[in-house]
Amino acid sequence: QVQLQESGPGLVKPSETLSLTCSVSGGSISSYYWTWFRRPPGKGLEYIGYIYNSVSTNYSPSLRSRVTISEDTSKNQFSLRLMSVTAADTAVYYCARAGYYSSGAFDVWGQGTMVTVSS
Question: Where on the phi/psi map is residue 84: left (φ > 0), alpha (ψ -120 to 50), or beta?
Answer: left
Q: What element of type H or E holds 5?
A: strand 3-7
Q: What's the rounded Cα separation, in Å, for the pair 7 and 81? A: 12
Asked if 53 touches other proteins (CB under 8 A), the answer is: no
Asked if 111 touches other proteins (CB under 8 A), the answer is: yes
61/119 with CB nearer other proteins: 61
- Burial (CB < 10 A; 0-12, 13-18, 19+), residue 48, is buried
Binding mask 6-45 for other proteins (x = CB under 8 A): -----------------------------x--------xx
DSSP annotation string for 18-32: EEEEEEEESS-STTS
13/37 with CB nearer other proteins: 37
| Residues 59-78 close enough to bind other proteins by CB under 8 A | 59-62
Least distance between other proteins and beta carbon 19 (Å): 20
Q: List residues near other proteins by CB under 8 A.
A: 35, 44-47, 49, 58-62, 94, 96, 101-107, 109-112
